[in-house]
Structures are given as C-alpha cells and as structure tokens.
Amino acid sequence: MSEQDFKMKTETTLALRDQLSQTHRLINRTDETIKQLTELKQRIQAAGSDAGVDKSTQEQIDVAIKKLREYEDEILRRPPPNMGYRQRPRLKEEISDLADAVDGATARPTQPQMNRLSELSQETETATKQLNQVIEENIVPINEKVKNLPQVITDKSNKL
C-alpha cells in the first residue's frame, strides 16, 4: 500500500471514529434524558398534589419518553434484544461495520466505501437534528411546567 493510500485509509478511519463517537453521544444523551424524565415523573408522583403539576404534565412526560425510545430504536441502535442479523442495522451498526471494513483492509478505501461515508455523515447530522427537535418540542415545555417543582421532596407527615 502506498503512503497516499495509507493516509487516505487513516483519514477515513478517523472520520468514521468521529462519527461513531457522535452517535454514541446521541445514544448517551437520549438514555440520560429518558432516565431524567423517568425520575421526574416519580418525583411528581411522590409529591402528589403538593407538586403543583397537573396531570397533563405526566402525560407529556410519557409522550416524550415514548418519542425518545422510538428515535433511539429506529435511528441510532437496534432495540433489545439485540438480535443482530434479524433486524436491519441502525446508524451505530452501519458506521461500526464500515469502520471495520475500512480499517481491516490492506488497501485504500474503495469508492463505494467513500460514498457510504458521505451518506453516513449526512445521516449522523440528520439524527442530531432529530434529537434536538424532539428535545425542543417535548422536553422544553415539560421543563417550563415543572420549573417550580422542588428538587428535594420531603415527606411532611413524618416530622422528626
């Protein structure tokens, strides 16, 4: 392999690594947001009527969690149980497979691989925009409704 081919292979592998890292950040952000929404719902339920939050907020939380899970399962990674060959690959698997194919070869990346890299770059950008849209449309309104909710809820009936 020539030095130019090696350089191209290295640059392509690094670009794929960066895309995979971005996809992992999207997965982590989605998982963390779902976790926070679940905890918020539990805090609202524990506070009961003292929370000052109407029933529609809990429904909004459920809708937001559902949308985030659908986004993650349909775009980012295969939903559990991760059955591999029985489901179509998602963004994470597509990038990982292409990175393995490029890095595992002793030749420069092929033109179809370079084309796929470009497509995956666009898909990663689109996935990022979709997550931001879900957050803007679903999470921001919830945050507005619960901004006065106490962060530490104590049980008033069990005074010491």
Q: Does residue 87 fall inside a structural domain? A: yes
Query: What local confidence, expressed as pLDDT, does residue 145 receive?
Result: 85
Q: Does residue 47 fall inside a structural domain? A: yes
For residue 9, name the pLDDT band (cuts at 50, 70, 90): very high
| Residue bearing tokens 């996809």 | 23
User: What is the pTM for the complete model shown?
Assistant: 0.83
Domain that holds residue 138: 3-145
Cα–Cα–Cα angle for 93, 99, 105, rounded to 5 degrees? 135
CB 15, CB 120: distance < 8 Å: no
Q: How many domains does the chain have?
A: 1
Rg of the chain over CA atoms, in angstroms?
Answer: 22
Q: Does residue 13 fall inside a structural domain? A: yes
Q: Does residue 159 fall inside a structural domain? A: no
Query: What local confidence, expressed as pLDDT, does residue 44 receive?
Result: 82
Q: Which amino acid is at 16?
A: L
- Give residue-wise pLDDT tens across range 103-134: 998 899 999 999 999 999 999 999 999 999 99
Q: Does residue 151 fall inside a structural domain? A: no
Query: What local confidence, expressed as pLDDT, does residue 98 receive?
Result: 94
Q: Does residue 52 fall inside a structural domain? A: yes
For residue 160, name the pLDDT band (cuts at 50, 70, 90): very low
- Give residue-wise pLDDT tens across range 38-92: 998 888 887 776 667 778 888 999 999 999 999 998 888 877 766 656 777 889 9
Q: Residue 150 above 80 pLDDT?
A: no
Q: Does residue 160 fall inside a structural domain? A: no
Q: Does residue 132 fall inside a structural domain? A: yes
Overall average pLDDT of the 26-44 stretch: 90
Residue 112 CA to its chain's centroid (Å) = 27
